[in-house]
């Protein structure tokens, strides 16, 4: 009934930029490289799942006392 993927955010690697500008050659042709993750591997997905404690549901209970 409840899905564990609900409420979990996905964040894009490198703000969604999968190419990185490197330089221009002598003929003014730009060269680019593909974005890599922290381990130096090429990206296979453009986002990662943010498993953080701030992604949890919170419940607040209150009590009211009147004189």
User: Would you say 56 and 50 are in contact if contact means Cβ atoms under 8 Å apart?
Assistant: no
**Residue spans per domain, the chain:** 10-52
Q: How many other C-beta atoms lie within 10 A of the C-beta of residue 48?
A: 13
Could you read off the pLDDT of 2-41 as tens digits, one per residue? 777 776 778 887 777 788 889 999 999 999 988 887 888 8
User: Would you say 8 and 55 are in contact if contact means Cβ atoms under 8 Å apart?
Assistant: yes
Tell me the whole-structure pTM to 2 decimals: 0.44
Instruction: Give the C-alpha distances (Å, rounded to integers) separating 66 from 11, 33, 60, 63.
Output: 46, 66, 20, 10
User: Would you say 33 and 22 are in contact if contact means Cβ atoms under 8 Å apart?
Assistant: yes
Give 43's pLDDT tier (boundaries 50, 70, 90): confident
Higher pLDDT, 17 or 63: 63
């Amino acid at each position: 009934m409840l899905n564990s993927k609900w409420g979990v955010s996905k964040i894009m690697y490198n703000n969604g930029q999968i190419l990185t500008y490197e330089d221009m050659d002598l003929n003014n042709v730009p060269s680019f490289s593909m974005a890599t993750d922290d381990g130096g591997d090429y990206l296979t997905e453009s986002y990662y799942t943010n498993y953080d404690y701030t992604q949890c549901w919170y419940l607040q209970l209150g009590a009211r006392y009147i004189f």
